[in-house]
Structure formats: C-alpha cells, structure tokens
Amino acid sequence: MTPSVRRRAAPAVAVVLACLLLAGCGLDEQEQQVADGVTTALSDGDDATDAQDLAQCTAERWVGEAGLEPLRQDGLVSGEDADADAVRAAADGQRPVSEPVARAYARALVSCLDYDAASSDVRDALPDASSEVRDDYADCLREISDDLREDAVTRRLQGQGGAEPVARLREQEDRCLQRARR
C-alpha cells in the first residue's frame, strides 16, 4: 500500500472502528428491560406498526442517552422497571422531568420521527385526503427545524407547555395542516 493510499484509508478505518465500537455499546440488559417498558408505555393502546416503531426507537434512544439513574431520579424508573404511568404522563407533558431527561427524550423522539405520508399521525390528521395531499403535508412537517422540535419537546416535558418554542412549533404544524387542507 502506498503512503498516499494509507493516508486516505486511515480516516476511513477510524470511522468504521468508531462505528463498530459505538454499535457495540448498545443498551445493556437492564437498560433494555427499562426501554421495553418505556416502549409499552409510549405505545399504549396504539397497535399501528409505525406507532410501535416510533415508540421503540424513542424508548431505546431515550434510555440510552438519559441513563437509568437520571430516569430513576425523575421517577420514571422504579426498581428495575419503567413506571408506565409516570412515563406516559411525562411524555404527555403532564409530569415535569429534569432538563437532561427532557432533552434526552426530545433528541430521541426527533431522531426517530418519520413523517411518511403513510404514518398514522398523517393519516389521523387528514383521514380523507389523497396520498398527494398527505405527501405535501408530510413534506411540510419535515421542513420544521429539528432544533425547534427539540426545544419545544424539552420545554413541554419540563412542564413549560406555554413556552415560546412550544407555541412556535404548534403554529408551524398548524400552518402545515391548513396548507394541506386547502
């Protein structure tokens, strides 16, 4: 291997190794048990596959980022399991949690969102709309900044549902819905 090829290959090898190492650092057995309980709580009563996928993705990323101890301190984990009622209340903004736990949830949720026109949220918002209208609505939702979404969700989970980012996000989502209904 020539020196120039080695120089170009070194960063690529480093990236691959970092990815492998990070992938190997998934949830441990206890974290996975809690994430499974959080998944059940977040998907409570919604059997749609996309809702289940969103709940599982969000739960695993939330538990992984927040960590078990902060979740325990906020009362979302009791003993070795997720407290389903507390998780649902927190996710609905009815039970304030600490900023780090709220921010971890927001990052997890936003990274897992998929505004596909076939998703249950889009179908629920526009039940009689054509697939073209649903696609336009989903496209509009995708244009809303992830930073705004994260800030709004974080504030809502901290019990600040009336905060400016929450209102701005609601306005932008409503604008997308109104535009789709025209």
Considering its fold, how many domains does the chain have in total? Answer: 1
Give a yes or no: residue 6 inside a domain. Answer: no
Please, are residues 62 and 104 in contact by the beta-carbon 8 Å criterion? yes
Give a yes or no: residue 140 inside a domain. Answer: yes
Q: Tell me what pLDDT residue 118 has.
A: 62
Q: Tell me what pLDDT residue 161 has.
A: 87
Give a yes or no: residue 15 inside a domain. Answer: no
Return the SS3 of 77.
strand
State the residue range of the domain holding 99.
32-181
Q: What is the model's pTM?
A: 0.81
- CA 120, 126, 127, 131 torsion-angle sign: negative
Token reading at 29: 């057995």
Q: Tell me what pLDDT residue 47 has.
A: 78
Give a yes or no: residue 158 inside a domain. Answer: yes
Give a yes or no: residue 23 inside a domain. Answer: no
Q: Residue 25 carries which DSSP code?
A: T
Q: Which residue spans within the chain are E strands per DSSP? A: 77-78, 81-82
Give me the average pLDDT of each 10-residue run along the chain (182 residues).
46 39 68 96 85 94 98 95 96 96 98 80 84 89 95 95 92 93 83
